[in-house]
Chain A
Amino acid sequence: MLDDVSFSLDPGEVVAITGANGAGKTSLLRVLSGELKPSSGRVMFDGNPLASISLESRARSLAVLPQQSSLDFPFIAREVMLMGRIPHFTGKLVDQAIVDEVTEHLQLGELSNRPYTTLSGGERQRIQIARVLCQVWDCLDDSYVLLDEPTAPLDLAHQLGVLELLRELSGRGAGIMLVIHDINLAARFCDRMILMLSGKVVAAGLPTAVVTPAYIKAAFGVDVDVTRTPDGAPLIYTKAALSVNG
C-alpha cells in the first residue's frame, strides 16, 4: 500500500495529507498510529520505536480518530466523550472538567446530553472528535493527534470550527495530522501538506509549494488554476467542470 514514504510529525504543527481515493492516506495514518506494521522500515515515537511502547502509555499521548465509527449503543454523548479519558487515571473531577471544556470549545452545547444513537452523522462526528480531543486535552504539549477525514461529514461552519480549534491546539504544542479532501481548507489551516498517489508522496512541504497546477494534475488528473487568498494561501479552482461535455 505504501512505498518508500519518509515522514515526520513535529510538536506544534498541523500537517494535512491529501490525495486521490485509494492513494494510501489512511494506510499511512494506520502505520503511524501503530495499527499496521510496516513490512519494512519503522515508526519512531519521541526517539523510541513505536512498537516498543506499550498500548497504555501510547494511548496517553497519541489520540487517533478513525474514518468510521461503529458505536451502536445509546450512550449519552457526554459518556462517549468521557471514554477519551480511559487511558488516564486522572479521577472523575478532572475528567468531567475536561469534558466541559471540550464541549465549550467545540460548541456542542445540548448535543452532549443526547443519546449518541439519536444524533445525525455530522453530530456523531463532532462527538467523536470531542472524544479524541478529551484524550489529550490535559497534556497537549506532549501529544499527537491523528485524524482520518475529521471534517468530511461536517457543514462549512463546523469544518471551520474544528480546523480553527486544531490550529489552536497545535499552538499549545500538540502535533496534529489529518487526512482531508478539501485542498483549499487544508492550504489555509495547515503548516505543511503531503500530496499522495498510489502509496507514494507526490509532493510535500509548505502549502504554497504543494498546491500547484502541476502537482494537482499529477495527483488527481484534474486541471486547475491556482490563485491566492487575501492572506496569501493558495486557492484552487477547477477548469474541468466547464469542458466536461465538450
Chain B
Amino acid sequence: MIALPKWWVFSAMVLVLVLVAGSSLVIGSVAISVADVVDALFGSKSEDMVWTIVWEIRMPRMLLAAIVGAGVASAGAAIQGLFRNPLADPALIGVSSGAALFAAGFIVLGLNFGVFQVLGVSGAAFVGGLLSTLLVLEIGRRGGTISSMLLAGIAINAIAIAGVGLFSYLSTDLQLRSVAFWALGSFNGASWQSVGIACVIPLILFLLSMESRRLNAITLGDQEAGHLGISVPALRRRVVLYTAIAVGVGVSLAGVIAFVGLVVPHLIRLTLSSNHYIVIPGSALIGAILMLVADGLSRWWLAPAELPVGILTAIIGGPFFIYLITRQKGKLGI
C-alpha cells in the first residue's frame, strides 16, 4: 500500500495525464514543434496546416484515446468487482467479441444498403456488442449463478471469434486488411464526430461511480450483499449494461483494445486501494494515461507508418501484468 495521502496520488495522476495529453499533440508523422503546437492551441483560428493538424487530427484523436481508455479501464474495474474476480475482463461478458463479429461481418459481406448504411461499421459493432452481452446475461440468468454467466461469456466469445475467423477466411485481401486493423484497434479514424459519440462514456463513468458502495458490498459475496440491503440481480444487470455501453462504444469507434480493462484496475488495487470509490476514478485516470502513451507509441515507433494500438497495449500490459502477478503473490487472493 502506498503511504502517501490519496489526494496527493490523484493530483499526481491528473498532472501526468495533462503532460501525456499535451505530448500526444506534439507527436505525429508531421513534425511540429512544441512552440507551434502551443501557438495553434492558444492562437486564433487559421487556415494553415499546423492549425488544421493540431485541431482537426491530433486533438480529436487525443480526446478519443483518453476517453476510451478511461471507459474501458473503469468498466474493467466494475466487472472485476461484480464477478468478485480480479482476473475478470470486460471481454468476459462478450461485448468485444460480439462487436468484432458484427464489424467483420459488415466489412466482408459489404452490407452497404438500407439500415446497414445508416449504421456503418461502428454502428454494427455496437449493436453486435450489445446483442452478445444480452445473450450472455440471459444464459447467465438461466444458470442462476455468477459463474454460469462467466462460463456463458467464455462460450459466446469462442463462438464469436470463430465467426470472425470464418469471415476473415472468406474475405478478399483488401477486406482482410481492414478486418485485421479493426480487430487490433486503432485511433486512426478519430474525428470530432467520434469524440461526440464517445461523450456517452463519461456519463457511464459517472453512473458506474454511483455504484461504488454496492460494488464494495458484492465483493463480500452475493448472499452478504443481499443482507446488506442490495438487490444483487438488479445491480448485476445495471453494471453489465453500463459496461456493454462503455466498452461497446469504445470498440465501435477504435476497435478491440486488449488488456487495458484487465491490467489498470489491478494496478490500482495493488498500489492504492480495493475500495471502488478509489478504484473506479483511479482506473479512469490511469486508463486514459496508458491509452495515450500506447497511441503515442503506435504513431512514433514505425513513423510514418502506424502500428495498431491494441498490439501495443498488449505488449505493454502483458509483461507488466506478469510482473504484478509474480511480485504480489499471496496478496491477490486468487
| Complex interface: chain B residues within 8 A of A43 (CB) | none
Q: Given contacts A83-B216, A86-B213, A115-B1, are A69 and B229 in contact (CB under 8 A)?
A: no
- Contact in complex: A86, B274 (CB < 8 Å): no
Q: What CA separation (Å) do A58 and B227 show in the bound complex? A: 8
Q: What CA separation (Å) do A57 and B227 show in the bound complex? A: 10
Q: Cβ of B330 < 8 Å from any Cβ of A?
A: yes
Q: Cβ of A79 < 8 Å from any Cβ of B?
A: yes
The A64-80 residues at the B interface (CB cut-off 8 A) are 64, 66, 69-76, 79-80
- Contact in complex: A35, B274 (CB < 8 Å): no
Candidates A35, A60, A71, A115; contact of B229 at CB < 8 Å: A60
The B61-109 residues at the A interface (CB cut-off 8 A) are 81, 84-86
Q: What CA separation (Å) do A4 and B30 show in the bound complex? A: 81
| Complex interface: chain B residues within 8 A of A131 (CB) | 220
| Complex interface: chain B residues within 8 A of A87 (CB) | 228-229
| Complex interface: chain A residues within 8 A of B280 (CB) | none
Q: What CA separation (Å) do A212 and B54 show in the bound complex? A: 87
**B contacts with A: majority SS:** loop
- Contact in complex: A118, B330 (CB < 8 Å): yes
Q: Cβ of A238 < 8 Å from any Cβ of B?
A: no
- Contact in complex: A72, B334 (CB < 8 Å): yes
The B215-230 residues at the A interface (CB cut-off 8 A) are 216-217, 219-221, 223-224, 226-230
Smallest CB separation, A234 vs chain B (Å): 33
Most B-side CB within 10 Å, residue of A63, A76, A117, A118: A117
- Contact in complex: A55, B270 (CB < 8 Å): no
- Contact in complex: A73, B269 (CB < 8 Å): yes
Q: Given contacts A55-B226, A74-B274, A75-B275, are A117 and B332 in contact (CB under 8 A)?
A: yes
Per-position contact with A for B225-238: 1 when CB-CB < 8 Å, else 0?
Answer: 01111110000000
Smallest CB separation, B235 vs chain A (Å): 11
Q: Cβ of B114 < 8 Å from any Cβ of A?
A: no
The B281-334 residues at the A interface (CB cut-off 8 A) are 330-334
Number of interface residues of A (CB under 8 A): 33
Candidates B228, B273, B330; contact of A59 at CB < 8 Å: B228
Per-position contact with B for A98-133: 1 when CB-CB < 8 Å, else 0?
Answer: 000000000000000001111000000000000100
Q: What CA separation (Å) do A76 and B2 show in the bound complex? A: 13
| Complex interface: chain A residues within 8 A of B231 (CB) | 55
- Contact in complex: A118, B275 (CB < 8 Å): no
Q: Cβ of A186 < 8 Å from any Cβ of B?
A: no
Q: Cβ of A56 < 8 Å from any Cβ of B?
A: yes
| Complex interface: chain A residues within 8 A of B224 (CB) | 64, 66, 69
- Contact in complex: B216, A115 (CB < 8 Å): no
- Contact in complex: B331, A115 (CB < 8 Å): yes
B85 to A, closest residue via Cβ: A72
- Contact in complex: B220, A71 (CB < 8 Å): yes
- Contact in complex: B331, A71 (CB < 8 Å): no
Smallest CB separation, A112 vs chain B (Å): 14
Q: What CA separation (Å) do A116 and B227 show in the bound complex? A: 20
| Complex interface: chain B residues within 8 A of A84 (CB) | 228
- Contact in complex: B223, A35 (CB < 8 Å): yes
Most B-side CB within 10 Å, residue of A55, A60, A62, A84: A55
Smallest CB separation, A94 vs chain B (Å): 16
Q: What CA separation (Å) do A63 and B216 show in the bound complex? A: 17
Per-position contact with A for B253-283: 1 when CB-CB < 8 Å, else 0?
Answer: 0000000000000000110011100000000
Interface residues of A (CB under 8 A from B): 33, 35, 54-60, 62-64, 66, 69-76, 79-80, 83-84, 86-87, 115-118, 131, 135
Interface residues of B (CB under 8 A from A): 1, 81, 84-86, 213-214, 216-217, 219-221, 223-224, 226-231, 269-270, 273-275, 330-334
Q: 7 extra interchain contacts, Cβ-Cβ under 8 A, other than A79-B273, A80-B220? A: A54-B229, A59-B227, A66-B223, A66-B227, A70-B220, A72-B333, A73-B81
Q: List 20 A-B contacts (CB under 8 A).
A: A35-B223, A35-B227, A66-B223, A66-B224, A66-B227, A69-B224, A73-B333, A74-B270, A74-B332, A75-B274, A79-B216, A79-B274, A80-B220, A86-B214, A86-B216, A86-B228, A87-B228, A87-B229, A115-B331, A131-B220
